[in-house]
């Protein structure tokens, strides 16, 4: 089993914040008649090995929220994808799609696959560095139906600012 190691307290805070947001999202949108999809573009293994021990990762946290009709987990690392398959066994009544691939290409396919008149989605994007293209944001925005939580590492954000001449 691969070990997905992360930092310290900030990881626990991030996961708590996303869990609370997902609960609020589910409550706020509970009366809407759309089909709802949760998309995790860097799904990992479904759990994190932190200094505090193993905790549920964003994918597993999302599965505990009943508002979503479908869960799409994208992970580039094949070994991590294999571990994600275990979530299907833990949640047999949930519609879970696990995709081994580049999230930029896979999100393109997702954007084209659904009729966004009838669907809404929440995408959680938490890359390690330069894996997520800004052009993918435009594709997501074109749906006018996908809310995005996107976290960028500070070094990545600083690099973009330097490239664009912001500082």
165 φ/ψ sector (left φ>0, alpha ψ -120 to 50, else beta): left
Q: What is the pLDDT of residue 154?
A: 61
> For position 1, what pLDDT does the model report?
47
pLDDT, residue 96, reads 98
**In the prediction, which pLDDT does 133 show?**
80
Sheet with 70-75, side-by-side order of all strands: 96-100, 70-75, 35-40, 119-125, 146-150
For residue 144, report the phi and psi dihedrals to the nearest 5 degrees: 55, 30
Q: Which residues contact 22 (CB under 8 A, 6 or more apart)?
A: 38, 61, 62, 65, 67, 122
- What is the pTM assigned to this prediction? 0.86
Rounded Cα gap, residues 110 and 129, in angstroms: 22
Instruction: State residue 132's pLDDT score.
Output: 80
Residue 156 belongs to what H/E stretch? helix 154-164
Segments in the chain below pLDDT 70:
1-8, 129-130, 152-167
């Amino acid at each position: 089993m691969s070990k997905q190691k992360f930092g310290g307290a900030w990881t626990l805070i991030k996961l708590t914040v996303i869990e609370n947001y997902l609960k609020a999202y589910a409550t706020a949108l509970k009366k809407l008649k759309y089909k709802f999809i949760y998309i995790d573009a860097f799904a990992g293994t479904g759990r994190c090995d932190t200094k505090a021990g193993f905790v549920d990762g964003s994918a597993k946290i999302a599965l505990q929220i009943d508002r979503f009709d479908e869960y799409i987990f994208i992970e580039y690392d094949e070994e991590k994808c294999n571990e994600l398959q275990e979530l299907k066994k833990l949640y047999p009544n949930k519609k879970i799609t696990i995709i081994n691939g580049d999230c930029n290409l896979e999100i393109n396919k997702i954007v084209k696959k659904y009729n966004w008149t009838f669907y809404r989605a929440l995408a959680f994007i938490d890359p390690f560095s330069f894996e997520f293209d800004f052009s993918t944001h435009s594709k997501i925005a074109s749906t006018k139906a996908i809310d995005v939580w996107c976290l960028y590492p500070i070094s990545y954000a600083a690099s973009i600012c330097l490239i664009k001449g912001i500082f």
